[in-house]
């Protein structure tokens, strides 16, 4: 049986020895190269970005923070969760969505079959605004390149934006969140579908809205599975 050079290379990778005449060996192509180092490159870029965020002084929020909140979870996740900004406990622990709101988010994820470790969770801002006020436009602008790079490295199949501040800043709109629900948006560069729902902290204050959030999660899962609107 005559084998092409490409077939011989695949057999080599499978551990199957192919004995060739001396002349044929001379003409054979070298074994396939190792897998491209994309994953390694991403890991290096991820750690470089983490260090850059940790030392960021682009806006005045660095003066009052305990530490930056880079994000948590799987940097290769297919689902990315984006909230607005760290709160007091997040600022202390260096992790987004902890406390009661974090527990509710974990329950929301579990309801659709995901653990916290399966997704990547980040915020619009990496530092806590004093007294948990809304982010200022200049603060969002300073932090935006960090979030954009995170999205580019993670390359999620879908983004779930939690709350008005996150949704409006992520999508560059001023539409009330009640009118943003139930639709699929798109984050540009890279193009990623976005579904908007209420922030878990809001749901704790307004438990009747949990039904709507469940509907949003179901929409997000349809999009995730390729069966969106």
In order of start, what are the domains of the chain with their CATH numbers? 40-224 (3.40.470.10)
- What is the C-alpha to C-alpha distance for residues 125 and 133, in angstroms, rounded to an integer? 12
Task: Work out whether strand 192-197 and strand 184-187 pair parallel, antiparallel, or are unpaired.
Answer: antiparallel
pLDDT higher than threshold 50 for residue 35: no
Model pTM greater than 0.85?
no
Which comes out higher in pLDDT, residue 4 or 39?
Answer: 39
Taking residues 146-158, report their average pLDDT. Answer: 97
- What is the C-alpha to C-alpha distance for residues 229 and 226, in angstroms, rounded to an integer? 9
pLDDT in tens, 121-132: 999 999 999 998
Cis amide prior to 190 (ω within 30 degrees): yes
- Per-residue confidence band for 40, with pLDDT thresholds at 50, 70 and 90: confident
User: What sign has the CA pseudo-torsion 199, 201, 204, 205?
Assistant: negative
End-to-end, the C-alpha distance of the chain in Å comes to: 52
């Amino acid at each position: 049986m005559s084998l092409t050079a490409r077939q011989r290379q695949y057999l080599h990778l499978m551990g199957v020895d192919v004995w060739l005449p001396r002349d044929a060996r001379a003409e054979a192509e070298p074994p396939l190269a190792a897998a491209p180092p994309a994953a390694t490159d991403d890991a290096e870029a991820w750690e470089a970005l983490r260090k850059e965020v940790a030392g960021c002084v682009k806006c005045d929020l660095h003066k009052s923070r305990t530490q930056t909140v880079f994000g948590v979870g799987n940097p290769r996740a297919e689902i990315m969760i984006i909230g607005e900004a760290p709160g007091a406990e997040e600022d202390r622990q260096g992790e987004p969505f902890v406390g009661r709101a974090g527990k509710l988010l974990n329950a929301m994820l579990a309801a659709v079959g995901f653990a916290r470790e399966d997704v990547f969770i980040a915020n619009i801002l990496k530092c806590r605004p004093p007294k948990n006020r809304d982010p200022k436009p200049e603060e969002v602008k300073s932090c935006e390149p960090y979030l954009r790079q995170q999205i580019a490295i993670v390359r999620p199949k879908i983004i779930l934006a939690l709350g008005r501040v996150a949704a409006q800043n992520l999508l560059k709109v001023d539409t009330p969140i009640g009118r943003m629900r139930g639709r699929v948006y798109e984050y540009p560069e890279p193009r990623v579908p976005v579904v908007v729902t209420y922030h878990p902290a809001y749901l704790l204050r307004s438990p009747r809205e949990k039904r709507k959030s469940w509907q949003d999660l179901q929409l997000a899962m349809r999009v995730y599975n390729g069966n969106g609107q």
